[in-house]
Structure 1
Amino acid sequence: MQSLKRGIFWNFGGLYFFYFAVWQLIFTFLPYWLKGPAGMDTTTSGLVFSIMSFGALILQPIFGPIQDRLGLKKGLFYFVICCILFLGPLFQWVFLPLVGANQILGAVVMGAYLSLCLNGGVGVVEAYNERSSRAYSFEYGHARLFGSLAGATASFVGGIMWAKNTGSIFWAMTFCAAVLFVLLTVVKLPDDHMAGEVRDEQGNAAKNEPITREEWLSIFKNRSFWGFCLLIIGSATMYDVFDQQFPNYFASFFSDATAGATFFSRVVSVQILLEAICMLFMPALINKIGAKTGLLIYGGILFVRVLGCAFINTIPMLVFWRLLAALEMPFMLVSVMKYITRVFDKRLSATVYMYGFGTAKQIGLTVFSLFMGNMYTALGFHHAYLLLAALIAVFVIVGSLLMRSDAKTEQIAK
């Protein structure tokens, strides 16, 4: 945990905190906003999330190679921050009137813009910070725990804000973007940033030659890449699909929907605080068991949670099942980055992340958000969760069979 003592570590921790505060506010309270003030049903709400994913499907394959060429330059990161800065005014003066005039058009415009901030933009944030962790020699997983702390804080404070004024949630995002702008500006680039130097987990300089077309294409000839994509669809994609409508499912157990939303925000706060504690120890655990094993554990816990929710009919058990997510995310967040930097060329880390994690995840979300939105309407939550659990099992098992192990080597896969 030596990275906790480094000054630059706290700056990147702040970047994670305020970015993922925005992320948590959107994904916790947007379903309520879509159902309440916007007046959408689950199918139209699913269209919003599908468009967010489809937008990222276009953006991430572009952002990945660009960020690899930029190295530690901040241009794309600034772009994402500027998009977030306008969320407050857009939700109040543009999105809500547009949805009132035409729900489908409003869903498309809203989803496309949010993809710049979140589903597409998150790849820029994660790839930049992971590369920085190697350049500045601090542990990525320790800085990433600030994202968990942000999630807990945003859920708790957001629940209070939502109960008093639903529109204040989106203005809080604008405030977070302003802080992000300041934090990123004060980060000083290392002397070798123009060369895009990256470092391995021991702090040693990695290869610095320009990336050739053949090296870039070699990613798509690697079976581990395709196995990684399938496992991500079965785990990270399905995690988000599960979460999209879960707040409404949880609130359905309460006679007062507002009380259910407030209580759920408290549960999420506890979950993410536990998640942050797990993040402290997760890098050491993944170094011991291997990143592939960590990803399989992540998928297994998600399968248990989704399957369990198909049979649970009491609030206390539903709360307990939700808190299991505190174990899931640390396994995923640390394992994804360690698997990429151990099995693939580190110079291509942003490209592999945005294609293998980001793009694969968004393909899955584009397909399954709308599909599961229809299933919730047609089958009800309990039967839809049985179907979702089966999909998780198939994708995770098939993906894991294709992926090579990272436990004994960090050399570039051939």
Structure 2
Amino acid sequence: MKMNIDMIKNKNYWFSSGYLITFYAAWSLWWSFYAIWLKSKIGLSGEQLGVVYAANSAAAMFFMIFYGIIQDKLQIGKAVVTFQSIMMILIGPFLIYVYEPLLRQDFILGVCIGAPVLSAGFISGSALIDSFIERISRLCNFEFGPARFWGSFGYAAATFVAGISFGIDPHINFWLASGVAAIYFIINLFFKPTQKLSVSNNKPQIIVPKPNIPTISEILSLFALRKFWLFVVFIIGTFSFYTIYDQQLFPNFYTSFFEKEETGYKIYGYLNSFQVFLEASCMIIAPYFINKLGAKKSLLVAALVMICRIGLSASLDNVYLVSLVKLFHAIEIPLFILAMFKYIVANFDTRLSATLYLVGFNISSNLGVIVLSKPVGKLFDNHGYSTTFYILASIVLIISCIAIFTLSDNKQANNQ
């Protein structure tokens, strides 16, 4: 109870929550209907959709390396986050006046220009802000999970709005995203991480945390660790395939159950919003479960949830049951993301958390998306949803079984 009261009184917690709620709200306003927009409004095929996602992931890899290494050097410095926030503000005009016309007139040029812009602001930005706030939480004494709750809450609320406005005009979503991004920029402008410590005269003294900054050689030494690469293989074999299923395939799969596209967009928006509200609640509950079960077992449980969702989607033809299965995502994401941070802290140097999260988790998962998006898109074009889903579920199952023996089961933080 005391920890919760201290957290509520912690200014750093509320600023961090502000970062997360505005970032994820801005992202949701355009990203939650991105695949549907590309397919139904722009008219891309499954294979072209795969090319777009692969290019986005390739650009995201570059920015994740850049963001991870620079942010580990800056620690709680805000230069990278400021650059990211400016790119976020530009999202609305870019999507409307540059990206959409190019995709219609010159597909390859549109993909090449769009990928770095979307990645710099949002696709890589999500990993950047998560790792930034996770580091703030450790330095300023509050749990990351409750702060991340506000990110999920923002995503859910924005998805609810996006489902309605998308049916009217997708451009409304894009302008709203830029508007919320401007609020994110203002929060970043005023935030300065501080701690209050008692001094001899019984007055609180406000200080700025001064973490131990790693050297470049220490950051690069990660790539020589066997357990780092085993972690990467697990991420590619589970989260990459799940990401392709959830972002590239599922939105259009779900809306195909409805006769009218507009009805499908609205219902999907409502369902996605409800799912993310549940996800937000699980963000609060998940840390207690993970602390009890351990990071490795929690990651494996999250992978099991992935397998169930993908496999059941292949076998169900009832929209109500498919909607229920969609809600599995609310369990999987908090478990996987929070357990992954716990796994990093328990098995690696905590000073390198940004590099580990952005490179070990996000880049490895994006590498898998780059390699697999186009072939999976082609597989769907040739064989449809059911066969594609069964194959994806089988691969995730195999990798998860291997991970039982390859992931480390350390439970103590490594504070090198």
Normalization by structure 2: what TM-score? Answer: 0.92
Superposition pairs of residues 241-260 of structure 1, within 5 angstroms: 241-243=244-246, 244-260=248-264
Q: Which residue of 1 aligns with 2:159?
A: 155
Q: SS of 1:36's equivalent? A: helix
Q: Which residue of 2 aligns with 1:220?
A: 223
How many aligned residue pairs are there?
A: 400
Superposition pairs of residues 7-406 of structure 1, within 5 angstroms: 7-190=11-194, 195=210, 197=211, 208=212, 210-211=214-215, 213=217, 215-243=218-246, 244-406=248-410
User: How big is the shift at 1:122?
Assistant: 2.1
User: How big is the shift at 1:164?
Assistant: 1.8
Gaps of 5+ in 2: 195-205
Counterparts of 2:76 and 2:213 in 1: how far apart (Å)?
16
Counterparts of 2:213 and 2:101 in 1: how far apart (Å)?
51
For the aligned residue pairs, the C-alpha RMSD in angstroms reads: 1.8
With 137-146 and 182-191 compared, the bigger mean Cα shift is at 182-191
Runs of 4+ in 1 over 4 A off after TM superposition: 191-195
* Alpha-carbon contact 1:253-1:315 (below 8 Å) kept: yes
* Alpha-carbon contact 1:254-1:260 (below 8 Å) kept: yes
Amino acid at match of 1:125: I
* Alpha-carbon contact 1:50-1:111 (below 8 Å) kept: no
Counterparts of 1:356 and 1:400 in 2: how far apart (Å)?
18
Counterparts of 1:358 and 1:209 in 2: how far apart (Å)?
22
With 296-305 and 20-29 compared, the bigger mean Cα shift is at 20-29
With 185-194 and 144-153 compared, the bigger mean Cα shift is at 185-194
Q: Which residue of 1 aligns with 2:413?
A: 410
Normalization by structure 1: what TM-score? Answer: 0.92
User: How big is the shift at 1:82?
Assistant: 0.7
Amino acid at match of 1:263: I
Gaps of 5+ in 1: 198-207
Counterparts of 2:401 and 2:208 in 1: how far apart (Å)?
40
Q: Deviations over 1:124-158 (max 9, x none)?
A: 21111111111111101110011110121111111
Counterparts of 1:354 and 1:224 in 2: how far apart (Å)?
16
Counterparts of 2:116 and 2:48 in 1: how far apart (Å)?
14
User: How big is the shift at 1:102?
Assistant: 1.3
With 59-68 and 75-84 compared, the bigger mean Cα shift is at 59-68
Counterparts of 1:343 and 1:298 in 2: how far apart (Å)?
19
Counterparts of 1:324 and 1:318 in 2: how far apart (Å)?
10
Amino acid at match of 1:139: E
Q: SS of 2:222's equivalent? A: helix
User: How big is the shift at 1:53?
Assistant: 0.4
* Alpha-carbon contact 2:160-2:269 (below 8 Å) kept: yes
With 89-98 and 1-10 compared, the bigger mean Cα shift is at 1-10
Amino acid at match of 1:274: L
User: How big is the shift at 1:412?
Assistant: 6.0
Tell me the percent identity: 30
